[in-house]
Each structure stands twice: as C-alpha cells, then as structure tokens.
Amino acid sequence: MADPSVFALLPYWHSLVLGLVVGLTEFLPISSSAHLAVVPVLLGWDDPGLALSAVIELGSSGAVIA
C-alpha cells in the first residue's frame, strides 16, 4: 500500500492543474493519460506517480459516467 504522505509532497495546485488538463482532454480523440506524463515534464515538475495518475483518471471517468 502506498504511503499517504507521498501525496503531501505534491503541491495541491499541481494536482488541480493535472486534473483540469485530463478533464478538458477527456473528450478529445487523444490520450488524456499521456498528458499526465507530458505536462509535468513541460512545466519542470516531478513525476506525480502512478497512484495520483490513477486517481485522476478514475475521477474523470466517474464524472463522464455521471
């Protein structure tokens, strides 16, 4: 199980930006999950990690279903 303190290392606004990018690109015919890898590289951030990427993808999928 992932250490919950790992999420404390990522600033909240990084999570917000990544969530917005994935949400906005969810309906485009391009990979929204690829943006989770590209955006941090372009902005010079650390890798958000697989757990955060999965949570963001689940959140956007849940919003689409709702």
- Per-residue pLDDT of the chain (66 residues), as tens digits, is 455 555 556 678 888 888 888 888 877 777 777 878 888 889 888 888 888 888 888 887 787 788
Gap between the Cα atoms of 7 and 19, Å rounded: 14
pTM of the predicted protein model: 0.69
Contact between 15 and 46 (Cβ < 8 Å): no
Gap between the Cα atoms of 42 and 64, Å rounded: 27
> Which H or E element spans position 15?
helix 12-25
What pLDDT was estimated at residue 4?
A: 55
What pLDDT was estimated at residue 37?
A: 82
Contact between 22 and 36 (Cβ < 8 Å): yes
What pLDDT was estimated at residue 1?
A: 47
What pLDDT was estimated at residue 58?
A: 85
For residue 38, count CB atoms less than 10 angstroms from its CB and return exposed for 0-12, middle for 13-18, buried for 19 or more.
Answer: exposed
